[in-house]
């Protein structure tokens, strides 16, 4: 067993969830949310997790063995300017679970700092605890886009991130949420989970698609916020065209490094464009509040369940399957 230094806890993981963006490939490359990462050595996957505290270091004050926790999977240096400003996802010394060379959480025991473990209320399940991770990504995206009451929000992509963004935007009072995806079965989730209206783009140009969205949903000048959770060039372009003047655009999906981009439109409309990466100070607590208060129902995202011993089957299901959203793997007994 790992030696426990002060302020660290050892968590026996109850559940971990994985989505299609995380695949351990045969050529030893790892795909993390669309970004290809090379790794020389095999690595343990998993970054969406919850568990039971097994033991605690002598300086740990807020948790004790037996407590149920959600585990935030990235540990920053706490000393750099990014950490001090709360944007610790930007910390150059951040270590993040299942990002090479750091092993992930799909193991019996996992060592985590006290302040990156969040105690689950009794009525919040381990599965919901694991899904606090992607929900936190949605909270950060809405924070970056300043999503607020009365906004019209257009979200490109109805995968797990697009869905959690819709749910958070709804929780923050957006009056109209439009989810855009080519796959209509995914849009069914956006309706149910995010309370979104939906749009399937046709073969037109990005400008034409934006015009269709504006007309179909009577958006007048355009949307207040556009969020891309795909990384696809056509979606990014459409997102700029669908915004009203002074609208906000958040880039969250990772795709090609270089794209053709309507930058003159961005200038003439005075659009504010920001990137969003993982999460910052407060997002995990906020996500847990949204779930604990019954505002966001994460259980609706779970489509499959496997035991720890069936983990390979779980990944194959993700790789092959349609209608796969979140696949849960239970902890090793
Ligand atoms: Zn730092």
71: domain CATH number is 3.90.180.10
Whether the Cβ atoms of residue 31 and residue 77 lie closer than 8 Å to each other: no
Query: For residue 36, is pLDDT > 50?
Result: no
Q: State whether 266 and 155 are in the same domain.
A: yes
Minimum mean pLDDT among 8-17, 149-158, 164-173, 211-220: which range?
Answer: 8-17
Domain-embedded: residue 59: yes
Give residue 190's pLDDT band: very low, low, confident or very high (50, 70, 90): very high
Integer Cα distance of 161 and 145 in angstroms: 15
Q: State whether 25 and 80 are in the same domain.
A: yes
Query: For residue 56, is pLDDT > 60?
Result: yes
Tokens representing 54? 């097994």
The CA 281 to ligand 1 mean position distance, Å, reads 12
Q: State whether 155 and 264 are in the same domain.
A: yes
Q: State whether 39 and 114 are in the same domain.
A: yes
The CA 55 to ligand 1 mean position distance, Å, reads 26
Residues near 198 by beta carbon (within 8 Å), at least 6 away in sequence: 158, 178, 179, 180, 181, 184, 187, 190, 191
Q: State whether 24 and 91 are in the same domain.
A: yes
The CA 81 to ligand 1 mean position distance, Å, reads 7
Query: For residue 281, is pLDDT > 90?
Result: yes
The CA 114 to ligand 1 mean position distance, Å, reads 17
The CA 95 to ligand 1 mean position distance, Å, reads 10
Q: State whether 150 and 271 are in the same domain.
A: yes
Integer Cα distance of 186 and 194 in angstroms: 12
The CA 321 to ligand 1 mean position distance, Å, reads 38
Q: How many domains does the chain fold into?
A: 2
* 32 burial level (CB within 10 Å; 0-12, 13-18, 19+): middle
Domain-embedded: residue 200: yes
* 1 burial level (CB within 10 Å; 0-12, 13-18, 19+): exposed
| pTM score | 0.90
Task: Give CA separation, 167 vs 2, 45, 254, 289, in Å.
Answer: 38, 27, 21, 13
The CA 91 to ligand 1 mean position distance, Å, reads 4
Cα atoms found within 13 Å of the Cα of residue 268, Cβ hemisphere only: 5
Give residue 5's pLDDT band: very low, low, confident or very high (50, 70, 90): low
The CA 276 to ligand 1 mean position distance, Å, reads 17
The CA 275 to ligand 1 mean position distance, Å, reads 19
Task: Give CA separation, 81 vs 6, 106, 141, 186, in Å.
Answer: 25, 31, 21, 40
Q: CA nearest 169: which of 266, 33, 293, 290?
A: 290
Largest CA distance in the chain: 62
In this predicted structure, what is the pLDDT of residue 128? 94
The CA 5 to ligand 1 mean position distance, Å, reads 20
Residues near 298 by beta carbon (within 8 Å), at least 6 away in sequence: 127, 128, 131, 132, 135, 291
The CATH number that applies at residue 219 is 3.40.50.720
Domain-embedded: residue 112: yes
Q: State whether 246 and 213 are in the same domain.
A: yes
Q: Which residue has the tokens 């009577």?
A: 218
Q: State whether 253 and 315 are in the same domain.
A: no
Task: Considering only residues 38 and 299, tell me which one the structure prediction assigns the higher pLDDT.
Answer: 299
The CA 90 to ligand 1 mean position distance, Å, reads 7
Q: State whether 174 and 150 are in the same domain.
A: yes
The strands making up 29-32's β-sheet, listed across from edge to edge, are: 22-24, 29-32, 35-38
The CA 278 to ligand 1 mean position distance, Å, reads 14
Q: State whether 55 and 107 are in the same domain.
A: yes
Q: CA nearest 202: which of 219, 221, 189, 215?
A: 215
For residue 126, give its domain range. 8-130+297-330
What's the 3-state SS for 183-202? CHHHHHHHHHHHCCEEECCC
Q: State whether 151 and 232 are in the same domain.
A: yes
Domain-embedded: residue 287: no
């Amino acid at each position: 067993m790992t030696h426990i230094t002060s302020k660290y806890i050892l968590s026996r993981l109850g559940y971990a969830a994985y989505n299609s963006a995380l695949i351990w490939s045969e050529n030893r490359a790892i795909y993390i949310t669309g970004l290809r990462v090379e790794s020389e050595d095999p690595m343990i996957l998993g970054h969406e997790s919850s568990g039971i505290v097994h033991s605690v270091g002598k300086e740990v004050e807020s948790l004790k063995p037996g407590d149920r926790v959600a585990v935030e999977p990235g540990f920053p240096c706490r000393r750099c300017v990014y950490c001090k400003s709360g944007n610790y996802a930007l910390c150059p010394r951040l270590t993040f679970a299942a990002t090479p060379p750091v092993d992930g959480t799909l193991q019996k025991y996992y060592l985590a700092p006290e302040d990156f473990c969040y105690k689950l209320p009794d009525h919040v399940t381990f599965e919901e605890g694991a899904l606090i991770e992607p929900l936190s990504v949605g909270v950060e995206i809405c924070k970056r886009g300043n999503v607020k009451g009365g906004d019209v929000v257009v979200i490109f992509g109805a995968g797990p991130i697009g869905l959690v963004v819709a749910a958070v935007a709804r929780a923050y009072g957006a009056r109209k949420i439009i989810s855009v995806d080519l796959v209509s079965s995914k849009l069914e989730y956006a309706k149910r989970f995010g309370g979104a209206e939906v749009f399937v783009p046709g073969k037109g140009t990005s400008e034409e698609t934006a015009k269709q969205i504006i007309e179909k949903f009577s958006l007048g000048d355009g949307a207040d916020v556009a969020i891309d959770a795909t990384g696809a060039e056509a979606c990014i372009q459409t997102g700029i065209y669908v915004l009203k003047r002074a609208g906000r655009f958040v880039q969250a999906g990772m795709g090609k490094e270089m794209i053709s981009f309507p930058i003159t439109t961005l200038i003439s409309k005075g659009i504010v464009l920001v990137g969003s990466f993982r999460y910052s100070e407060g997002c995990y607590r906020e996500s847990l509040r949204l779930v604990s208060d019954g505002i966001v129902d994460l259980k609706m995202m779970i489509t499959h369940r496997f035991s720890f011993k069936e983990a390979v089957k779980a990944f194959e299901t993700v790789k092959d399957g349609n209608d796969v959203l979140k696949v849960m793997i239970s902890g090793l007994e």
